[in-house]
Structure 1
Amino acid sequence: TLISTVGGASGPLYGSALRAMGAALPDGPADAAQLAAALAAGLAAVQGLGGAVLGDKTMVDALAPAVEAFRAAADRGLPQAAEAAARAAEQGAAATEPLQARKGRASYLGPRSTGHRDPGAQSTALLLRALATAAGAPSAGPPG
């Protein structure tokens, strides 16, 4: 549904990420290590579809550090790993503000894209914050 109904690039990107994540997860409950692998599969799908890398001012700027933070904290359990990922995504989204977009819809704005947070990175940070909340992570205060 996301792929075919959400406008812009985010629908296909989120749809592809979620499909890849779902395919990487077991049929039953997943542990933190399995979720880390699923998140990595989602990132790979996004990058495979859009070709973005860190610094392009896209959702990858939030998702890539979140995947790495989740993976690094997975041995501490799901709530802690999800919190680490949410914080990394929030920091990654904030870091897009001074960048000029090189990929995605915002790239058409050229220099006018600087000074604004990338919407894909921000929405990715919101999704990862929701994951942390659902996983029972302790509140980290308002997102930056």
Structure 2
Amino acid sequence: MTLLTADLYDERGEDLQSVPLQFHTMGGRTRFSGPIRTVTCLEDNALVKSVLATPGDGAVLVVDGGGSLNSALMGDMIADSAVANGWAGVVINGAIRDRVAISDLDLGVKALGSNPRKSAKTGSGVTDAVVTFAGVTFIPGRTIFCDEDGILVER
């Protein structure tokens, strides 16, 4: 990512949506961007794990966990898999765990918080569908830009 999100917004303005939800930067890579892939799941990380175990090719996985902080949707082992498979980052509308270990990985991670509790692993949810939260629509294939100031998404 060559431009910071503030500069990118100044340059492209209405072509971008700004995510107003206040995500925490938790990965070792603080600035990241890439094409969007999506998972929708609630307190169940089986789909997150399976998607991040596939080639990422520099994509960013946007996980709509419904904003739940009841259990973590990603831990250090899943994050390690994402790094090994070439993902640029993960944005989780929910919680992660193992945040100290994740902060040492070359992976962009934005999440609402952390919780040491494991999630369910039934595989419920949907992949690669249009996701909307915080008034922003995340369309698979469009580009997402993340840095310390926030998150921008192509319309």
Fold match, TM over 0.5?
no
Structure with a larger share of its residues in strand: 2
TM-score calculated relative to the size of structure 2: 0.23
TM-score calculated relative to the size of structure 1: 0.25
Structure with a larger share of its residues in helix: 1
Q: Which has the larger radius of gyration?
A: 1
